[in-house]
Amino acid sequence: MSNSSFDSPDNDPAENDPAKTYRIGHKERDEAIEVLREAAGDGRITVEELDERMEKVQAAKVPVDLDEVLADLTLNLPSDRYRPGSQVSRRHVGNRAIAGWDSAQPLVIKAGWESENRRGRWQVPHSIRCEPSMSNIELNFLEAETTLPEIQVEIVAGLGNVTVVVPDDWGVNVDQLSKTWGTVKSVVGAIPEGSRPLVVVSGSVGMGTFRARFANFLDRRRMAK
């Protein structure tokens, strides 16, 4: 009979696997739903499968529960980030340690259960990634601070909508933005005036809506306060 502590059930690697014991929350479920929305938008799963898998995501308690739902849709499984030594784990831990956004990386704006807005005076990065999985995102550049000639906006397919609001002399190019069941609407020209910024939008709206517009009455009223 071995006296090694490694024979104890308490030291069973499977039992101590954080991917099987760490309780997930809204953030992890939102990320899983985003993958499902994108897969449905790309036609990789049906609407019926989307509904079924979303129910499983809502019932998930630990990362491996999400693995079962996403295994055939992504190479980056939710459990990877909780298992030491994996490439995905190192990348996610590193990102958590960085406050705000890194100028070498895109600013990621996620709208899970609540809408997200960027309004007023804010510093605009060169690249923005919008992930409207359930709710809406507004990028309002009317009072934004930037000297960039071009701003890249990538949209990840979801159910939510993305609205871009720009000054009258800016441009918005949506040629690289695709749609599945959603819609793309823009009243803004693709050529800015002089050296003013151009917003280049790419990705897919999925089942949501993208809209590019100029200031409306509510925008002007808010800025006048």
Residues 178/136/171/42 CA torsion (nearest 10 deg): -10
pLDDT at site 173? 97
Confidence grade of residue 88 (pLDDT, cut at 50, 70, 90)? very low
91 has pLDDT over 80: no
| pLDDT at res. 85 | 41
* Least confident among 6-20, 131-145, 148-162, 200-214: 6-20
DSSP the chain: ----GGGSGGG-TTTT-HHHHPPP-HHHHHHHHHHHHHHHHTTSS-HHHHHHHHHHHHH--SHHHHHHHHTTT-SS-GGGGGSTT-HHHHHHHHHHTS-S--TTSPEEEE-SSS-EEE-SS-BPPSEEEEE-SSS-EEEE-TT-B---SEEEEEE--BSS-EEEE--TT-EEEEEEEE-SSSEEEE-S-SS-STT--EEEEEEE-BTSEEEEE---HHHHHHHH-
User: What is the percent of the chain where pLDDT is above 90?
Assistant: 49
Tokens found for residue 64: 């491996």
Lowest mean pLDDT among 39-48, 57-66, 90-99, 201-210: 90-99
Measure CA of the first residue to CA of the last residue in the chain; give whole Å: 79
Query: Does the pLDDT of residue 121 top 50, yes or no?
Result: yes
7, pLDDT greater than 80? no
Average pLDDT estimate for 45-73: 91
With a cut of 50, say whether residue 1 has pLDDT above it. no
Q: What is the pLDDT of residue 155?
A: 95
Residue 62: is its pLDDT beyond 70? yes
Q: What per-residue confidence (pLDDT) applies to 138? A: 97
The pLDDT score that the predictor gives to residue 83 is 59
The pLDDT-based confidence of 168 (bands split at 50, 70, 90) is very high
Mean pLDDT, the chain, rounded, equals 82
